[in-house]
Structure 1
Amino acid sequence: MRIAVTGSIATDHLMTFPARITDQLLADRLDRVSLSFLVDSLEVREGGVAANIAYGLARLGHRPLLVGAVGADFHAYGARLAGLGVDTGAVRVSTTRHTARFLCTTDPDGNQLASFYPGAMSEASGIDLGGVLDGGVDLVLIGADDPAAMVRHTRTCRARGVRFLADPSQQLARLDGAEIRELVEGADHLFTNEYEHGLLLEKTGWSRADVLARVGTWVTTLGEKGSRIERAGEPPVDVAAAAATVVADPTGVGDAFRAGYLSCLAAGGDAVRCARTGSVLATLALAAIGTQSYDVTADDLPALLAAAYPPPVRPLSPRPA
């Protein structure tokens, strides 16, 4: 199955703050916040939601098609992704803007303060996804990107009858209700985290039932609690998270989950197995610094899944007297 991943492509500047960010906030001074953090470390890593997801898919043996806008400074980054098996032929290169930048400070509790500069991503709406689909694409993930690009890509998939997965994530805060409703309508899958789940309902004015009437499957990630799968007319299914043995960096964990989920979906897996595969990849990403540092292959998955989700042990039958 040919998968296209649209969304941001960025460089991540990841910093660690040794104290708790929340301790620096004064309850009676929240109307005027002016904080400066002396950080302990700086990691400059390649990231962006689309590139992170494409990386995970490539590690699992797929050749995903990356769709997004970058600056001329993308050359080395693009060459690395291409070397790993990502098809970068649909990436638009700006002549005037730098590749997007993500700057994030994380404390020991996993709290984060982040800023995102869109740069060349602002030109993503100029990408003709129709031309990309002409090359043969079976599934499109529409991730966080320039809002106009997200809407345009969704309209193209809907007009072409191509299965698409809506993953608006952090752009939900910027999008208005009408835009969100258009991005969700007709999606094969909708991805949110727990906070975004509520925000989507609030901004669209839809009920949970309204959303489920418009999408095939709604997947909500719940952090260490795992994920929840919802479908119209069916009770929600909670899928436990794979146990994390090392917690190094939470950045990009959700992208790794999506890569694992998509890989399993492309292989015909059911939603529970897809969520478990996503959770296994998320755990690997959590144990690595940066969003494209974990190492995994498709051959590793059976053992990883068996270790994370062993079959239940049947109780012994009582011996006859």
Structure 2
Amino acid sequence: MRIAVTGSIATDHLMAFPGRFVDQLLPDQLEHVSLSFLVDTLQVRRGGVAANIAFGLGGLFLDPLLVGAVGPDFAEYEVWLKEHGVDTGSVYVSSEHQTARFMCMTDQDSNQIAAFYAGAMAEAGRIDLHGVHDRTPLDLVLVSPNDPGAMVRHTEQARELGIDFAADPSQQLARLTGAEVHSLVTGARWLFTNEYESALLRERAGWSHAEVLDRVGTWVTTLGAQGVRIDRKGEPALTVPAVPDVPAQDPTGVGDAFRSGFLAAVSWGMALETAAQLGCAMSALVLATVGSQAYEIRPEPLLATVRAVYGEHAAGLLAPKLERPA
């Protein structure tokens, strides 16, 4: 399956705060917040949702196509992605803006406060999927957080081209209008959210849970330490537990890694349960490292995790696909 991953490409500035954010917030002063946090560490890492997902897919030998907008400072990052199996031939390079920046601070409870500078991402709407599809025929378009106009445009173009698409609005839900949510979700083969985003999506769209399922093929909701729930119209919900007892280093990019593992498995024709199990195992790799692309996919340790948590049968199904191609 040839997967185009559209969305943000960014540099992450990740900071660790040794206390708890909630201890610094005064309930009677929330209308006048003025806080500065002294952090212990700063890590500058490669990131962006689309780049993170493509990185994971590349590590699983899917040869993903990355579709997004960057600045002239992208050259070193591009080499890194190519070295990790990502096709960057459809990345748009702005002559006016730098690559987007994600600035995130994490406290000791893994709560996060973040800011995102769009930069070149604001030009992502200039990318035409018709041209991308002409260059390399696509089987699935994943529309992940990006410039809102680009997200809507790429969803509409996937429909025009008759290509299956997956909707992953996540962080951009706060900016999207109800009409934009309707456009992004309706007809999606896959819809990805976390638990909070699932509620926000329903609020923005004005739809019930059942009405969302009327409009999508499969709704995948990540539940953090509780794993993942998969919903389909007329089917009982499927819940898959997360990998337990992972030494949490940094939650940034955990959901992106889940999507990589899940989409890789379904592209191999695996059942939804197996796809979610691989997604959860991939999430554990990222959670145990600092940085969303700092992990290494090694078949034996990954399969050992799957075997220990989900059983020998699941590991046996995935083993042939995780072997490095000759």
TM-score bracket relative to the smaller structure: over 0.9
**1:147 corresponds to which letter in structure 2?**
P
1:50 aligned partner: 50
User: Would the aligned equivalents of 2:169 and 2:193 in 1 still touch at CA under 8 Å?
Assistant: yes
User: Would the aligned equivalents of 1:61 and 1:298 in 2 still touch at CA under 8 Å?
Assistant: no
| Correspondence 1:13 to 2:13 | yes
The change in CA–CA distance for 1:253 and 1:162 in structure 2 (over 3 A counts) is same
Matches within 5 A, 1:293-308: 293-298=294-299, 301-308=302-309
The alpha carbon displacement at 1:276 in A equals 0.8
The alpha carbon displacement at 1:304 in A equals 2.7
The alpha carbon displacement at 1:207 in A equals 1.2
Matches within 5 A, 1:1-321: 1-134=1-134, 135-298=136-299, 301-310=302-311
The alpha carbon displacement at 1:301 in A equals 4.1
Distance 2:80 2:303 in 1: 27
User: Would the aligned equivalents of 1:100 and 1:120 in 2 still touch at CA under 8 Å?
Assistant: yes
1:318 aligned partner: none
Deviation per CA, 1:244-263: give whole Å up to 9, x if none: 43110001100000001011
Alpha-carbon RMSD: 1.2
Deviation per CA, 1:235-289: give whole Å up to 9, x if none: 1111111114311000110000000101101101111111111000000100000
User: Would the aligned equivalents of 1:60 and 1:298 in 2 still touch at CA under 8 Å?
Assistant: no
1:319 aligned partner: none
User: Would the aligned equivalents of 1:56 and 1:259 in 2 still touch at CA under 8 Å?
Assistant: yes
Partner SS, residue 34 of structure 1: coil
User: Would the aligned equivalents of 2:145 and 2:172 in 1 still touch at CA under 8 Å?
Assistant: yes
Partner SS, residue 101 of structure 2: strand
User: Would the aligned equivalents of 1:256 and 1:281 in 2 still touch at CA under 8 Å?
Assistant: yes
Alignment TM-score, normalising by the size of structure 1: 0.95
Larger radius of gyration: 1
User: Would the aligned equivalents of 1:154 and 1:183 in 2 still touch at CA under 8 Å?
Assistant: yes
Partner SS, residue 141 of structure 2: strand
The alpha carbon displacement at 1:297 in A equals 3.8
User: Would the aligned equivalents of 2:246 and 2:287 in 1 still touch at CA under 8 Å?
Assistant: no
Partner SS, residue 30 of structure 1: helix
Distance 1:78 1:200 in 2: 33
Distance 1:298 1:162 in 2: 31
**Off by >6 Å, runs of 4+ in structure 1:** none
Alignment TM-score, normalising by the size of structure 2: 0.94
User: Would the aligned equivalents of 1:184 and 1:190 in 2 still touch at CA under 8 Å?
Assistant: yes
Runs of 5+ consecutive residues of structure 2 not aligned to the other structure: 314-326
Distance 1:237 1:184 in 2: 21
Greater share of helix: 2
Distance 1:19 1:62 in 2: 40
Distance 2:142 2:77 in 1: 21
**2:285 corresponds to which letter in structure 1?**
L
User: Would the aligned equivalents of 1:94 and 1:120 in 2 still touch at CA under 8 Å?
Assistant: yes
**2:297 corresponds to which letter in structure 1?**
V
The alpha carbon displacement at 1:302 in A equals 3.3
Distance 1:98 1:279 in 2: 33
User: Would the aligned equivalents of 1:49 and 1:144 in 2 still touch at CA under 8 Å?
Assistant: yes
Partner SS, residue 296 of structure 2: coil
The alpha carbon displacement at 1:13 in A equals 0.1
Partner SS, residue 31 of structure 1: helix
1:315 aligned partner: none
**2:206 corresponds to which letter in structure 1?**
G
Runs of 5+ consecutive residues of structure 1 not aligned to the other structure: 313-321
User: Would the aligned equivalents of 2:4 and 2:64 in 1 still touch at CA under 8 Å?
Assistant: yes
Percent identity of equivalent pairs: 58
